[in-house]
Structure 1
Amino acid sequence: MKLQDYIVGALTLPVLAPIAVFRGLFGLSRYLWKKGAYSSLPQVEGYFPIATLFEPGKMEDILDKLRRDDGSYPDMFSFGFYYHGDCSIAVTNPALLREIFTHDSDFPKIPESNGLLEVFVGKGLVNTEGALWKHDRKLLTPVFHFDALTHGVPKIVKVCLKKYEELEAAVKKADSDCGKGCHVLGPVGLFSDMTLRVIIAYAFGDHMPADDMQKAFHEMLQPLDEFFAFYMLVGSLSLQLPLTASAITRRAKAVISKMVEERVLEALARRDRGEKAFDDNNLLETIIQNGEKGMEKETVEKAVAQGLTFLFAGHDTTSNLLSFALDYLSRPEYRHYQEEIRQEAMAVFGDLHGFEHADRSAAQKLVLCERVLEETLRLAPPAPFIERMVKKDMKLGNVEIKAGTAVLPLFYCTHRDSRFWKDPDTFNPHRFSDEQSVGRKNFSFVPFSAGGRNCIGQKLSLLEAKLILSSLLMKFEVVSVQDGPPPRGFTFTMSPLKFEVGLRLRSEQ
């Protein structure tokens, strides 16, 4: 916090303190009044466990204590006081997940979460409900159709090859603890940069200045934790305060909005001249094609909101998936999968020169690579749970759920439950083969959520991850430089913390 924030805090304390106390007491009273309804359920340790999740490595500790001796989890358990000022229930059983995901109107998103996200992205697909959500989902679905993904492959390939040039230069100069010619780096940072560049190109077109967009996007998210704390204390009133966090976010968002506006107005002018609005397929083009004449301001606002939503929701999840994949693939007992993925990629592309001409049909042949990524998603889902809320008193399974209770589909547990998975803690990509997938319980594997509000970008995410992982392993060998797996942190998505690997050039390329 800056001096400005302390001054604002001191000046507004007489007003904000009573509001924060009232909100806290009201939420606590509501929780205490309702929690007896869930006394028959197993309980997570701690009064406010959602806060504990943000401590490094705590997620596994909390959830492992609920795991039974046979490796299964309770179908439902009480997750204590939740930040929206009410009770929360975690759900792990696939049959109950089906009930939640196939009845969206009964289980909407939590308004407080939608409101906070709106500060950063506006009204995008992730945080809207009802008719607006249905309209936007229908509008954007073609952007992620197989035909559109075909146009996305060259964007992914271009980002990969440029990054590998930089990495090769770093590897050749490296002399680290893992030996000469071994470059130590953090996969989270590497993949975050790559996936963000891919999404910028896919959302806004190849000519959008990626460096400027990336810088502004990171600046916009910088005060996210601070925003969250103020928002939970005093609600939407926090948005009216002249805080440093607000100024940083507004400034960065204005930079992004200006860049998008220039692209939109440029494209609209070309369209009015009878020319093609864009020379590549992207999300922006879809929004412009569906924009009404004379509604340029609204078109720009929608383009900014949906583009930022895409950046916000898409790049972290894919980069964390790839980072966790390297965690498993660099472990001694699983390193043989690196060579198997490499051999598969060589059979499909020939070499990196062949990779330059990759297309979607080639990516579909990366069967083992896809299974490795699916197994990584099972054991380390970047979104280990999502939030829903019940609108009215209702029954879920055999439990009466009170209106306002947060319902948390907890994929992390479902994916590790011995009732649905054999040897659930073992990394075994072949469990996703056609033969071993027969008879798998529906909704037991839901890394991208499910139902009508499943992740619209999941096909792009997997395509992107397959192309990045397979090409990386054609070029480099990944070696472990740490003792044991990294701790896992949770800040809205799950990622490996303080995680590093070594990269060596392959002797044959």
Structure 2
Amino acid sequence: MDVKGLNTIISSLSCNTTLVLVFTTVALVVYWMNSRRHRFVGWEKFGVKHVHVGIQQAPAVLLKNLIKEHGSTVGIVRDIPVLVTRDLDLLKQVMVKDFNNFVNRNDNLTTRSLVGKGVFFLRDYDWKRIRQLMSPSFSTGKLKRISSHVQEAADRLSRAFEKCAETESKIKLLHTTGQYSTSIIAKTAFGVDADSIGEEEDDQFTHAAKNIFKKRSKTEFFFLLFLFRFRQFRRLLVYTFGLYFPDPCNKMSSVYLNAILKESIADREVAERRGSRHVNNDFLQNLVSIKVASEDAASVQSTSEKSTSTDSQKLPVSSKKTITTDEVIAQSLITILAAYETTASTLQLCLYKLAQNPDIQERVFHEILDIVEHENPTHEELAKLLYLEQVVNETLRMFPPLPFITRDARESRTYGTVTIPAGSAVYIPITEVHRDPTHYPDPEVFDPDRFNEENKAKRNPMAFMPFGQGPRICIGMRLAYLELKTALVKVLRKVKVELDDTTVPRKSEDITMNYQAFPRPEKPIELAVKLRENQI
């Protein structure tokens, strides 16, 4: 037998051995998980109706069906016991009043990408430390300083809409709004120019930002529902076996963004230590400055400890003010992802609902005419656009950026007749909270007046949580509102968006949402655009 034939046999044996190992492991994990499930006695013991569920449903769809069929609070078992509730009093206990017992999210991201170490997924002390370090970057003062960048991007967005109107072509909403949101975060957070707004092809940064998560076919998605059903199992596949397929993050995007961020961090560290801060006082620079200061303080402390034996002379380094290079990259990646998903998705859906409701669109347009006096709206003018904000909030009500969020129970807690046992998870179905007819009559109707002052005063504040509630509320919420309102002002006073027989969807149709990683229309929305005669 020749060497080539021998190598083929060895390779075949190795492949077969791997397959046997993988399938044996799968069988053992599934058996162990199911045994663990059977040890849970059921939610009835804790004052909650217990429902047995399958695995071939997207989580958002499962939560919708559970509440529709079984009421506002039910218990299920995934790999751990899960309480599903849209009861606002119970949610206030979990998300606000008893937050310290429910600090952590249950849905940690199983990935080799540093996205999984972003503040959204961090737990306990690490979450608190990183959250405190990031907060100053989203202060009111910082938002005012970046307004000019937001307005420049919104101007380019408006020109893209005008070009479509002039050429009588359809605007591809998510493609274009994604370019807008990514351009802002690239410039304001990292000092990177990503200017492809209105272009057919994305620049490299925008392409990477849009594809941090893999695009899955329906077949792949439903297969992964089984794999992701068990946390220990998916960790085994990704971290132990190093399988790429179950990892939700796109390797090419991660490699590209990691490379440019590492290079930028290194350059900024050198400049910081030379005493010449980077020209952009941006999000990345704030974290780099903290990193350098903590490393320098640690170096001073180490030198002091070597030169003296007196404990009282040691210089303590606050662990609250430390951050590593990987952590800086992780927070950068999660900021890029959050900025793209929140602003781009909400903006496209808001424009779609305005096209679907031309009377509401005209009311927004006339409010802009009455309040905005110059080309660039000021912060004070944006704050006065009350009806525009109602339109944004109604969009967020119908289409929250995340259809659900989760919390882990550290210790058992009893609220009224319901007990949440230690080690269980609470699933908070935001979409179902927002479409509860108890709080929002005719919830499928787009009605911005739900958010006027009179109606808001009558409603429980917990009934609206597109960015979460409590201490873990989205850190970039105000930036999202700034981007959304500025874009809508710039676009709507130049053009109007419409539905007709050639748009997607057509005038007589409606969109169907697809819930995988994030809510998406099954077919990308394309609108008709018309120039306004009385432009500002």
AA at the equivalent of 1:148? K
* Change in CA separation of 1:61 and 1:456 when aligned onto 2, cut-off 3 Å: closer
Residue 194 of structure 1, CA deviation = 1.5
Q: Greater shift after overlay, 388-397 or 120-129?
A: 388-397
Which segments of 5 or more consecutive residues in structure 2 lack a partner in the other structure?
1-11, 197-202, 297-321
For the pair shown, the structure with the greater C-alpha radius of gyration is: 2
Counterpart in 2 of 1:254? 255
* Change in CA separation of 1:12 and 1:495 when aligned onto 2, cut-off 3 Å: same
User: 2: CA distance between counterparts of 1:35 and 1:48?
Assistant: 20
Residue 269 of structure 1, CA deviation = 2.9
Q: Greater shift after overlay, 222-231 or 130-139?
A: 222-231
Does residue 1:17 correspond to 2:23, yes or no?
Answer: yes
Counterpart in 2 of 1:274? 275
Residue 106 of structure 1, CA deviation = 2.1
Please give the TM-score of this superposition, normalised by the length of structure 1. 0.83
AA at the equivalent of 2:179? D
* Change in CA separation of 1:163 and 1:324 when aligned onto 2, cut-off 3 Å: closer
Please give the TM-score of this superposition, normalised by the length of structure 2. 0.79
Does residue 1:377 correspond to 2:396, yes or no?
Answer: yes
Of 199, 206, 213, 2:185 maps to 199
Counterpart in 1 of 2:430? 411
User: 2: CA distance between counterparts of 1:114 and 1:52?
Assistant: 17
Query: How large is the Cα RMSD of the aligned pairs?
Result: 3.2
Task: Spell out the pairing of 1:335-374 with structure 2 (5 A cutoff).
Answer: 335-350=358-373, 354-355=374-375, 357-374=376-393
AA at the equivalent of 1:215? H
Task: Spell out the pairing of 1:179-194 with structure 2 (5 A cutoff).
Answer: 181=168, 183-194=169-180
Is 2:157–2:491's contact at 8 Å kept on the other side of the alignment? no
AA at the equivalent of 1:131? Y
Q: Deviations over 1:439-479 (max 9, x none)?
A: 32131211111111111111111111111122221122111
Q: Deviations over 1:22-54 (max 9, x none)?
A: 2222223333443632487457784236x3457
Aligned to 1:477, what secondary structure does the other structure show?
strand
User: 2: CA distance between counterparts of 1:117 and 1:412?
Assistant: 26
User: 2: CA distance between counterparts of 1:147 and 1:236?
Assistant: 45
Of 30, 47, 52, 2:54 maps to 47
AA at the equivalent of 2:28? F
Is 2:269–2:292's contact at 8 Å kept on the other side of the alignment? no
User: 2: CA distance between counterparts of 1:286 and 1:209?
Assistant: 24
AA at the equivalent of 2:408? M
Aligned to 2:440, what secondary structure does the other structure show?
coil
Which segments of 5 or more consecutive residues in structure 1 lack a partner in the other structure?
1-5, 68-73, 174-180
Aligned to 1:378, what secondary structure does the other structure show?
helix
Is 2:58–2:515's contact at 8 Å kept on the other side of the alignment? no
Counterpart in 2 of 1:321? 346
Is 1:19–1:234's contact at 8 Å kept on the other side of the alignment? no
Aligned to 2:401, what secondary structure does the other structure show?
coil
User: 2: CA distance between counterparts of 1:118 and 1:310?
Assistant: 18
Task: Provide the identity percentage.
Answer: 22
* Change in CA separation of 1:241 and 1:371 when aligned onto 2, cut-off 3 Å: same
AA at the equivalent of 2:20? P
Q: Deviations over 1:361-398 (max 9, x none)?
A: 23212211111111111222121210122234432442
User: 2: CA distance between counterparts of 1:59 and 1:323?
Assistant: 26
Counterpart in 2 of 1:124? 118
Q: Deviations over 1:121-168 (max 9, x none)?
A: 152211112222112111111111111111222222222222333333
Does residue 1:77 correspond to 2:96, yes or no?
Answer: no
* Change in CA separation of 1:120 and 1:409 when aligned onto 2, cut-off 3 Å: same
Counterpart in 2 of 1:443? 462
Residue 110 of structure 1, CA deviation = 4.7
Counterpart in 2 of 1:285? 285
Residue 293 of structure 1, CA deviation = 5.1
User: 2: CA distance between counterparts of 1:473 and 1:164?
Assistant: 8
Is 1:144–1:460's contact at 8 Å kept on the other side of the alignment? yes
Of 359, 382, 405, 1:386 maps to 405
Counterpart in 2 of 1:143? 137
AA at the equivalent of 2:264? R
Counterpart in 1 of 2:527? 501
* Change in CA separation of 1:387 and 1:212 when aligned onto 2, cut-off 3 Å: same
Aligned to 1:292, what secondary structure does the other structure show?
helix
AA at the equivalent of 2:27? V
Counterpart in 2 of 1:71? none
AA at the equivalent of 2:518? T
* Change in CA separation of 1:443 and 1:491 when aligned onto 2, cut-off 3 Å: same
Aligned to 1:105, what secondary structure does the other structure show?
helix
User: 2: CA distance between counterparts of 1:254 and 1:315?
Assistant: 18
User: 2: CA distance between counterparts of 1:382 and 1:43?
Assistant: 29
AA at the equivalent of 1:76? T
Is 1:16–1:234's contact at 8 Å kept on the other side of the alignment? no
